[in-house]
A and B are shown apart, each in its own frame.
Chain A
Amino acid sequence: AQSVAQPEDQVNVAEGNPLTVKCTYSVSGNPYLFWYVQYPNRGLQFLLKYITGDNLVKGSYGFEAEFNKSQTSFHLKKPSALVSDSALYFCAVRDILGLTGRRALTFGSGTRLQVQP
């Protein structure tokens, strides 16, 4: 089965500083990778995805992610953090479901980003 790991439970960064939220993956075949953000008591909002093409993917709210095949990583980045970026971030891989061959998202454990004023 495919999997994704987020090694940091929490990331703290000062407002205005760059931020990185780490994600590594394990897949057989070509990876479909995603980042989602979740605010308290809300659903998940799609930020960006990597399917194919350029390794640097740009998404919503100024976020970007870099796909690195050799390191099997897909880290989320932003050049200048905002207090409003404080939320829970999930990395996900599109996983194959059992014998059906269908696909659904399998999520990492999540990383809480705290941006201090």
Chain B
Amino acid sequence: DAMVIQNPRYQVTQFGKPVTLSCSQTLNHNVMYWYQQKSSQAPKLLFHYYDKDFNNEADTPDNFQSRRPNTSFCFLDIRSPGLGDAAMYLCATSRKPGQGDTEAFFGQGTRLTVV
């Protein structure tokens, strides 16, 4: 089945040690998103790619970076994780507007713990 896959499901990292979360999709969607979700709160958009065009949200800390080497893969890099960055990170994809389905498809998430 076509889907959005996030690896790993659970990640433990040390305070200040760079960490990378990965997301892949077989849906061939143009748009990929990264959301941060803390403690069953609403997911908060960090940034998104519209094809190769990177779009950062104004309030996303510089500590968070992203890479999209091709259509299928997208990475979230946290350069120096702090305790406040512990959260569930959700990757999602969607089609371009006007190309059909308007909903976003989510991966299972990566729960990041910072120790």
Contact = CB atoms under 8 A, between A and B. Distances in A.
Interface of A: 32, 34, 36, 38, 41-46, 49, 51, 88, 90, 94, 97-98, 100, 102-110, 112
B105 interface: yes
B40 interface: yes
Contacts, number: 64
B103 A49 contact: yes
Given A43-B108, A98-B58, A107-B42, A49 B102 contact: yes
> At the interface, is chain A mostly helix, strand, loop or mixed?
strand
Contacts of A108: 42
Size class of the B contact interface (CB-based, 8 Å): 20 to 34
Interface in B18-57: 31, 33, 40-43, 45, 48, 50, 55, 57
A74 to B, nearest CB: 14
Contact of A43 (B58, B97, B102, B107): B107
A104 B103 CA distance: 9
B90 interface: yes
